[in-house]
Structure 1
Amino acid sequence: MAMAERLGGRWSRSRFAVVVVLLALVAVADRAVPRGEALPIGINYGQIADNLPSPARVSWLLRSMQVSKVKLYDADPHVLSAFGDTGVEFVVGIGNENVSAMVDPAAAQAWIQRHVQPYLPSTRITCITVGNEVFKGNDTQLKASLLPAMQSVYQALAALGLQGRVNVTTAHSLDIMGNSFPPSAGEFRPDAVPYIQPILSFLSMARSPFLINCYPFFAYKADPSNVPLAYVLFQPNAGVTDTNTRLNYDNMLYAQVDSVYSAIQALGHTDIDVKISETGWPSRGDPDEVGATPEYAGTYIGNLLQRIQMKQGTPLRPSVPIDVYVFALFNENLKPGPASERNYGLFYPDGTPVYNVGLRGYLPPMDMEFSEGNRKMRPDKKLITFVICRRFICFLSSS
């Protein structure tokens, strides 16, 4: 006897079909969430938009993707609370507008007591970035305040017993470089050196990394006729050989990182790790933004993920796996500037991937209730089955 008949003929064929689909979704739920080790990349979680899901829903999305490292541009209390007891590691930021105020030790301590201390140890805050791309602009007061602000924050952490648990650094734009090719000849801009030299001494003392934002897309966009696409997209190519070191570079990102290492070494430091605090590729841009397509974005991020999963180092530091934070989690519709600025996301705000690079995540529905208990649950087969079954029950109730 057909199942529909056994159910007493109460359902139409269309309703029966819906039930079959729901049950099928339950059956495949186990494949909806990746298993295994944590994703070996960090993700920048920007929020310059008016259509993003709540931090609680984002917490489920990132954990379902096995993301273990997140970088913020502020210290949003809603985000930090949503990730309590999840094990996700956070970088939080002090915006450029607040850097000068942090020169005052009392202000720095008050900031940490308000934005960091209350969330520890539940939320794993491991780093504070003081300012972002400070040397990209012309604000001399901001530049002069950067190091004293970093020192105040570091001292405040020590006074609160957090030294060693939370480190302090700042993130730089690649245009801090006066020369970046060949990588062995990398050097900082002469006007930036008086600021960078003491910052490097601070990073060495504090055992903090040097963060750099690297975007091969910008180089390709500026000169597509002379910058090989395969070289910027990690595709097979002959590469470029550094005539000084004889090291071969088959992609621009690694060459950029090694040029920063060379610039740091030129100022007398060999004990500072370089980490990529931002890199990405836009999936859409203005008509004059050559290369801003979903195809190229997917190729760049997908190939980068493969390199990271191989635990590759750069040619200059082959034994040190490259540490990368991808920009960004979502497209951000309120970001100013060219169209590309609003289209760096791995996901649309509804949780749909912008392109397919094998990153699968689960964004719960908007009507999902997040109690203090289920906020902390691991998003796995039981969660997805629960959501599907709840919708199934609602369907039955309305029949």
Structure 2
Amino acid sequence: MSIVFLLVAILSIGLEFTGVQSIGVCYGVNGNNLPSRQEVIDLYKSNGITGMRIYYPDEEALQALRGSNIELILDVPRDTLSSLTDANQATDWVTKYVTPYSQEVKIKYITVGNEIHPDYNEAQYVLTALQNIQNAISAANLQGQIKVSIAIDMSLIGNSYPPKDGVFTDQAKSYLQPIINFLMNNGAPLLANVYPYFAYIGNEQSIHLDYALFNQQGNNDAGYQNLFDAQLDSVYAALAQVGGSNLQIVVSESGWPSAGGDGATTVDNAATYYNNLINHVKSGNGTPLKPGVAIETYLFAMFDENLKSGASTEQHFGVFNPDKSPKYQINFN
């Protein structure tokens, strides 16, 4: 009996360790008051942040990442997708932005398209660009180190509640099916940007703030204690409907704005969300549909970005201020 207990204890520690290693922070640079790339990498290291996402092949950032041991999601920008349908250009892209850094920078994922909807013009290029980047990665003998994928948002889910009945929209299904087959064949995860904040402000009549902030006590009728797990499981359920039940999901963005919106966008609510999300990921508990499965998660974002367009909340997702001071008290590790 004591041996069984010991094994369970060791397993629990292992799961928590996996969770601790799974916290990254997205690094956007759409501001005119941000620190240098080297200062930013130093800030990641001093705070024990072990993962980063960048949204284009920023060579200054890639240089600064050398030897840092920070795991990286490297995005292909939307305006580059069409060119990568040419296999030679895809090879050139990998030769320029990946191969020279691959020994000293821990590039983990290449994201070929972020939140490309099926009705976007760029959607027609995604699958071919994926295949060409994958072929170039394989030709460079990096397929064991780097996985090639896409990042989706929650708008591709047609039904999300209850989460076990999650499905993709019809348009998204036809767009994603060959991409999901590609990911399955190459052992790559699907990246998903999961924002309880946006779900909450879109349906405040039905969604309680505590549920969105991980503060709810007890489960709801569907068996969920927080909106993040419910959203994530609706994607898992949708994947199962199209043959992707074994596909892993990496949460490539999740955050809460501290200003710029309605009464929910406060510093206190944002701090609560980020801290509770980190603690949830660290726990290694997984979700109701995927219990015990570590949730690799990237917070959005490192800094407030004062040049971002769109809703005013877009400029207030940073967990650090541009002067590098922490906006909230967060323990990343």
TM-score when normalising by structure 2: 0.91
Q: Indicate how the Cα distance of structure 1 residues 40 and 204 shifts in structure 2: closer, same or farther if over 3 A, else same.
A: closer
Give the counterpart of 1:329 among 302, 308, 311: 302
Look up the SS of the partner of 1:171 in the other structure: strand
Q: What does residue range 100-139 of structure 1 map to in structure 2 within 5 Å? A: 100-135=82-117, 138-139=119-120
Answering whether residue 40 of structure 2 is matched by residue 67 of structure 1, we say: no
Give the superposition deviation at 1:90: 0.8
Q: Read off the aligned partner of 2:87 and give its amino acid letter.
A: P
Aligned position for 1:212: 192
Give the superposition deviation at 1:357: 2.9
Give the counterpart of 1:276 among 225, 246, 251: 251
- Cα contact 2:278–2:332 (8 A) shared by 1: no
Give the counterpart of 1:263 among 231, 238, 243: 238
Q: Read off the aligned partner of 1:299 and give its amino acid letter.
A: T
Give the counterpart of 2:125 among 121, 126, 145: 145
Look up the SS of the partner of 1:239 in the other structure: coil
Give the superposition deviation at 1:358: 3.8
Give the superposition deviation at 1:38: 6.2
Look up the SS of the partner of 2:50 in the other structure: strand
Give the superposition deviation at 1:88: 0.9
What CA deviation, in whole Å up to 9, does each residue of 1:291-334 have, x standing for no partner? 11101000111111111221120011102111111000000000
Give the superposition deviation at 1:239: 2.6
Cα distance between partner residues in 1 of 2:70 and 2:146: 14
- Cα contact 1:38–1:66 (8 A) shared by 2: no
Look up the SS of the partner of 1:134 in the other structure: coil
Aligned position for 2:293: 320
Structure 2 alignment gaps of length 5 or more: 1-18
Q: What does residue range 11-22 of structure 1 map to in structure 2 within 5 Å? A: none
Cα distance between partner residues in 2 of 1:340 and 1:63: 27
Structure 1 alignment gaps of length 5 or more: 1-36, 243-247, 361-399
Higher mean displacement: 75-84 or 37-46: 37-46
- Cα contact 1:221–1:290 (8 A) shared by 2: no
> Which one has a bigger Cα radius of gyration?
1
Q: Percent identity?
A: 36
Answering whether residue 172 of structure 2 is matched by residue 192 of structure 1, we say: yes
RMSD: 1.5
Q: What does residue range 1-399 of structure 1 map to in structure 2 within 5 Å? A: 40-135=22-117, 138-139=119-120, 141-242=121-222, 248-286=223-261, 289-358=262-331
Q: Read off the aligned partner of 2:301 and give its amino acid letter.
A: A
Give the superposition deviation at 1:268: 1.6
Look up the SS of the partner of 1:43 in the other structure: strand
Look up the SS of the partner of 1:58 in the other structure: helix
The number of residues matched between the two structures is: 315
What CA deviation, in whole Å up to 9, does each residue of 1:151-184 have, x standing for no partner? 0000111112212211100100110111111011
Q: Read off the aligned partner of 2:156 and give its amino acid letter.
A: I
Give the superposition deviation at 1:123: 1.1
- Cα contact 2:90–2:136 (8 A) shared by 1: yes
Q: Read off the aligned partner of 2:203 and give its amino acid letter.
A: D
TM-score when normalising by structure 1: 0.76
